[in-house]
Amino acid sequence: MLTIAKLIIIAAFLTGAFLASLDEDAVNWTYFIPVIFGGIIGITLLKVGEKAAAQDDSLLAADKEMLEVSLQNILKNLRDLDGRKEKIPTYEMRFEIDKIFRTDLNNFADSRESMKHLFGLMAYADIMSSFAAGERYLNRVWSASTDGYVDEVLAYVSKSHSQFEHALEEWQRYESKG
């Protein structure tokens, strides 16, 4: 159904664009409106199909696992890093970050849309707010490490850690709500 819906929309768009290109000023609405109406039917079919697909149990379960695993990995690595941060030379910290966090950060970001269907929009906003802040703090550690600001590196490893802990708390809060 999704493919048919998309084909209907594309056909409606191309036909509508053609009708809109026939004259420099005017549009023949007698033909144009039914074409747009066809497109709206396509959109309706698409949204119904997409909702069903996005709420597909196997996809949601796979994405949920990916989100949980990535978040847990990030936290595990951050706890570890926070514990041994004093021992890592300031200028080396950026390489640690690139090495141990980038994959999980990307995996979480790639699966994030499923959170809307799992927990709702407000949960998505709250979890993503914490996640984005935590990621930004890690980026700041990277920059401070490059510039050799040791206090900033140490402080922001901890801040990023607590931010991701907060993301996990939000995740668990919404998960418990079902």
Partner 1 sequence: MSELTKLNEGAPGPITTGAYPELTPYAIGVGYFLGVIIAIAIGYASLKLGFSIEGSELAAILGFGILRGILRRRSIVENNVTQTVASAVNGASSGLMFSVPAIFILGYGQELNPMIVTFGAIAGAFLGIAFIIPLRKQMIDFERLTYPGGVAVASILKSPGAGIEKAKLLMGALLFSGVLHFLSIQFDIHDLHVGDWLGVSEENAYLNLMFYASLMTVGVGFIAGRGGVAFIIGGFVCYFFLAPMLDLTGNLPVDAAGAVITDANALRVGLFRPTGIGMLIGGAIIGVLFALPLIKSAVKSMQNSAKVESAMSRDEMPIKLLYFAIVGAAILLMVMAWTSAENVGIGRGIAMGLLGTLWIWMAGIILSEAIGRTNWSPLSGMTLVAVTILIMLTNGMETSQAIVAAVTVGAATCVAMSQATDLMLDMKTGYLVGATPRQQQMGQFFGAWLGPIVIIILIYVLHQAFGLGSDELPAPQGQALASMVSGITGGDVPMEKYAAGALLGGLLSAMMTGLGITVGLGFYLPFNIVLTYSVGTLLREITDRKMGTHWSDNKGIPIAAGLIVGEALVGVGNAVYKIATAM
Work out how close the CB of 68 gets to partner 1 at its nearest, in angstroms, rounded to a whole number: 19
To partner 1, the closest distance from the beta carbon of 169 in angstroms equals 12
Q: Report the distance separating Cα 75 and Cα 72, nearest Å.
A: 5
Instruction: Please report how many Cα atoms fall inside a 13 Å half-sphere around the Cα of residue 146, on the Cβ side.
Output: 8
What is the nearest approach in angstroms of partner 1 to the Cβ of residue 65?
21
C-beta of 97: minimal distance to partner 1 in Å? 10
Which residue in 175, 164, 111, 171 sits closest to 136, CA to CA?
A: 164
Nearer to partner 1, 57 or 131 (CB): 131
Nearer to partner 1, 42 or 77 (CB): 42
Contacts 24+ apart (CB under 8 A), 47-50: 48/1, 49/1, 49/2, 49/5, 50/2
Closest to partner 1 by CB, 72 vs 139, is 139
Which distant-in-sequence residues (6+ apart) come within 8 Å of 61 by Cβ? none
Name the minimum Å distance from CB 36 to partner 1.
Answer: 5
For partner 1, the closer CB: 57 or 149: 149
CB nearer partner 1, residue 146 or residue 172: 146
In the complex, the residues that contact partner 1 under the rule CB under 8 A are 6, 9, 12-14, 16-22, 24-27, 32, 36, 39-40, 42-43, 46-47, 89-91, 94, 109, 121-122, 124-126, 128-130, 132-133, 136-152, 156, 159, 162-163, 166
Q: Is the C-alpha dihedral spanning 162, 159, 102, 85 positive or negative?
A: negative
As a whole number of angstroms, the distance between CA 131 and CA 109 comes to 9
Cβ neighbours of residue 22 closer than 8 Å, sequence gap 6 or more = 28
